[in-house]
């Protein structure tokens, strides 16, 4: 071993879902939105004055912060933005989880949490979901340095009622609780009102899923001004200019188009509910997803086999070869046509198998 090895920060990185270069595939593997961003985003990019790129962007990203604050009826000092919610969450880990006691999160959840904990040397403990893949607030009633969970949870899609979220926040007044609401816009209930009731809660959301802008990288945190100030202090100690000029302009435009946002979310919810019926009739079982994906297993065919057969047929879904969930597929809700193509293939495949 080379001597300098002992000074290296070695980590096992997060593995994002595949982004195949191939055209003409049906991509249901990374929870992207099948519809384009709000039309105002196109207009911004068409009219964008490239000369302004000589100049650094607004370090406070005021235009996005203000558009988000307006949308949720908050003051600007309750909003923090970052380069996707991954950046926002990483900043939160760095800012708020500095205890010797373990950070708590579910055993089956967003697989970036343990990666950040390792990266930032934060002790952590993964709390098993119950047998129905639900989070039990009782299991979190232990000494800890902080708590984080998505609601609805990923990759299960299952939502915890907001009263139970509140129970977790209320029973841990001495640590910060982060509610990762990446999927809340697809029919879930946000814990946002709790930021005015408790000083220890942070809501994190993203433009990547419900606002069709995964490629632009914009996410945000909502909390009381004191917590937002701590986050900004860390951000300005790390990188002052996180949001580029195009991202600021495009995200602000997207946030202002409430009608388009509501329409596309409604379409995804409709297709999801129809997809649940189709999956059921094909012999799949799944929890009641409130997200833009369904986490399903088949009654007789192993998930890995289905994953590979679908991929062979250019239909990409997500498969996690991990304990407890290695017989499940996470299927993103695409357009009705994309979902129909997947069901047509599955019908034929399962029919041949005489399932």
Ligand X SMILES: *Cc1c(COP(=O)(O)O)cnc(C)c1O
Residues that bind ligand X (CB under 6 A): 31, 84-86, 110, 150, 154, 180, 182, 206, 208, 214, 219
Nearest CB to ligand X, comparing residues 206 and 242: 206
**Contact (Cβ atoms closer than 8 angstroms) between residue 184 and residue 158:** no
> If you ran DSSP here, which 8-state letter would residue 282 be given?
T
Nearest CB to ligand X, comparing residues 31 and 33: 31
Q: How far is the CB of 156 from ligand X (least distance, A)?
A: 11
Nearest CB to ligand X, comparing residues 265 and 282: 265
H helices of the chain, where?
39-46, 62-72, 84-96, 113-119, 162-170, 225-236, 245-256, 258-281, 303-312, 336-352
For tokens 């600007």, name the residue.
76
Distance, first Cα to last Cα, the chain: 53
CA distance 69 to 255: 10
Q: How far is the CB of 345 from ligand X (least distance, A)?
A: 26
Tokens of 130: 């119950």
Q: How far is the CB of 344 from ligand X (least distance, A)?
A: 28
Q: SS3 for 350?
A: helix
Q: How far is the CB of 75 from ligand X (least distance, A)?
A: 23
What is the distance of C-alpha 110 from the center of its chain?
A: 8
Q: Which residue is nearest to ligand X (CB)?
A: 84
Q: How far is the CB of 120 from ligand X (least distance, A)?
A: 16
CA distance 353 to 355: 5
Q: Report cis status (omega within 30 of 0) of the bond before 155.
A: yes
Nearest CB to ligand X, comparing residues 206 and 289: 206
CA distance 268 to 33: 8
Q: How far is the CB of 221 from ligand X (least distance, A)?
A: 11
Nearest CB to ligand X, comparing residues 239 and 300: 239
Nearest CB to ligand X, comparing residues 154 and 250: 154
Nearest CB to ligand X, comparing residues 291 and 306: 291
CB atoms within 10 A of CB 217: 20
Q: How far is the CB of 281 from ligand X (least distance, A)?
A: 28
Q: How far is the CB of 213 from ligand X (least distance, A)?
A: 9
Nearest CB to ligand X, comparing residues 85 and 200: 85
Q: SS3 for 3?
A: helix
Q: What are phi and psi of 56, to 5 degrees?
A: -60, 150
CA distance 331 to 144: 34
> What is 158-172 written as a DSSP string?
PPPPHHHHHHHHHT-
Q: How far is the CB of 50 from ligand X (least distance, A)?
A: 26
CA distance 147 to 122: 12
Nearest CB to ligand X, comparing residues 202 and 346: 202
């Amino acid at each position: 071993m080379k001597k300098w090895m002992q000074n290296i920060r070695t980590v096992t990185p997060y593995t994002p879902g595949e982004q195949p270069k191939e055209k003409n595939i049906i991509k249901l593997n990374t929870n992207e939105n099948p519809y384009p961003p709000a039309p105002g985003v196109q207009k911004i990019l068409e009219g964008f004055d490239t000369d302004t790129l000589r100049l650094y962007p607004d370090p406070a990203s005021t235009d996005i912060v203000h558009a988000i604050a307006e949308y949720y009826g908050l003051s600007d000092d309750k909003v923090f933005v970052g380069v996707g919610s991954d950046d926002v969450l990483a900043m939160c880990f760095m800012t708020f989880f500095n205890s010797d006691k373990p950070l708590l999160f579910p055993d089956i959840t967003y697989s970036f949490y343990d990666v950040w904990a390792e990266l930032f040397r934060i002790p952590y403990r993964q709390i098993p979901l119950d047998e129905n893949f639900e989070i039990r607030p009782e299991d979190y009633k232990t000494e800890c340095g902080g708590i984080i969970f998505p609601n609805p949870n990923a990759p299960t899609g299952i939502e915890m009622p907001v009263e139970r979220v509140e129970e977790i926040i209320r029973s841990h007044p001495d640590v910060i609780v982060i509610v990762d609401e990446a999927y809340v816009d697809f029919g879930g209930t946000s814990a946002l009102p709790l930021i005015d009731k408790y000083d220890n809660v942070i809501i994190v959301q993203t433009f990547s899923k419900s606002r069709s802008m995964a490629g632009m990288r914009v996410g945000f945190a909502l909390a009381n001004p004191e917590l937002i100030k701590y986050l900004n202090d860390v951000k300005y100690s790390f990188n002052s200019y996180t949001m580029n000029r195009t991202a600021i302009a495009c995200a602000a435009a997207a946030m202002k188009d409430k009608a388009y946002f509501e329409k596309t979310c409604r379409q995804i919810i409709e297709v999801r509910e129809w997809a649940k019926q189709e999956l059921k009739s094909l012999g799949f079982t799944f929890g009641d997803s409130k997200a833009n994906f369904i986490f399903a297993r088949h009654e007789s065919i192993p998930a890995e086999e289905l994953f590979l057969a679908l991929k062979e047929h250019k239909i990409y879904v997500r498969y996690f070869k991990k304990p407890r969930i290695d017989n499940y597929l996470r299927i993103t809700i695409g357009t009705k046509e994309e979902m129909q193509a997947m069901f047509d293939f599955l019908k034929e495949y399962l029919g041949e198998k005489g399932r």
